[in-house]
Each structure stands twice: as C-alpha cells, then as structure tokens.
Amino acid sequence: MASKKKLASTFPNMVIVLTVVALTSALALSLTNISTLKARQMVEVKRTLEALKEVLPEFNNDPSIEKYSVENFAEMEFYPAKKGGQPVGTAIKTYSDKGFSERIWLMVGFDEGNKVHNISVLKQRETPGLGTKIKEPKFRNQFAGKDPASFTLKVKKDGGDVDAITAATISSRAFCDAVSKAYRALSGGKR
C-alpha cells in the first residue's frame, strides 16, 4: 500500500486551498440564486396582487397590467383600479428610507377623492415586537378614510395627527413618510 504524501502547510498552499473553497462556495451560491429567481419573482407578484386587493376599493380590472410610473417618483409604482371601466382609485407602491433598520415598502390605496382607503406593509425589517407593529391594524387603521390634504401625515410628537407606536417612533415616522410620499406623487408633487 502506497503511503499518501501530505501537502506541506505553507502560505501558498493555504492560499490555494482557501481560493478553491471560496470559488466553490461562490459558484454554489450563484447557482442557488439563479435557480430560485423565478420562484422569488412569482412570490413578489403574488404579494403585490394581494396587497392591491387589500388596499383598493372594489375593482374588476387588472391594475398590475396598467401599472405606470411618474418621472419624479421613479422608484414608486402606480396601479390604477377601475370598475366597469370607471376609475375607483389608485394604489401606490411607496417606500421610506427613514426606518430603524432599512427601507420600508408600503402599498397605499387611495380612492378617487384621494383619501386613503387602506395600507398594506409589503416589506420591513423593523425591531420585532416594536417597529413591526406598523403591520398591525390598530396602527394602520388610523389612516383609513383620511384626506392627507387635511390630515397631517406626521406623528403627534412632530406636530402631526398620527398616534405613534410606543417605543417605535422611528418606525412610525418612516410609515408616515412613505404615505406622505405616495400622496405627494398622487397629487402631482404638490405638498
């Protein structure tokens, strides 16, 4: 039986082994990312369609097909809702970078009078048990039926009309910022 020769533990050998391990890991991660991309995109589409149903008045068109964007609000998406060919509202996928952890994404539905119909939280990574309460109806419902032209979209601490979540003022402010951004985009950048 031939004895196996052991590779010397030198710096160049360590670099070679580490490089092979790193390249193998990178290749495996890339292949996983590529193979799951379509499934992740389908989940995103499903989440958007569910949010549209939640935030808009009753509609019978497909707002995702009629989606559009506005020049000064490039990262936001606008979804017009119609019933019987008549406009009933618009949903806006909006965001705020003022969250505690990272960007917060919301879907804000407005009726034809530009009043908030409903709001859905699409994505957030706020502090569990505190900032994550922005998803709860108790917080979100205070916006329903409100006209942002007369309802100040700021927390009361900042002179607005919104009751902030206790110990989560930053998340509450970010939520208000995202809704305010959607309203400004809807009303042509005024306000």
Report d(CA 55, CA 4) in Å as an integer. 68
Question: DSSP for 86-117?
Answer: EEEEEEEEEEES-SSSS-EEEEEEEETTS-EE
The token duo for 75 is 């990262």
Q: How confident is the model at residue 7, as a pLDDT?
A: 64
Domain limits of the chain?
Answer: 54-186
State pLDDT tens for residues 74-95.
899 999 999 999 999 999 999 9
Which residues does residue 78 pair with via DSSP β-bridges, in sequence order?
Answer: 68, 92
State pLDDT tens for residues 125-163.
999 999 999 999 999 999 999 999 999 999 999 999 999
The token duo for 150 is 């007369």
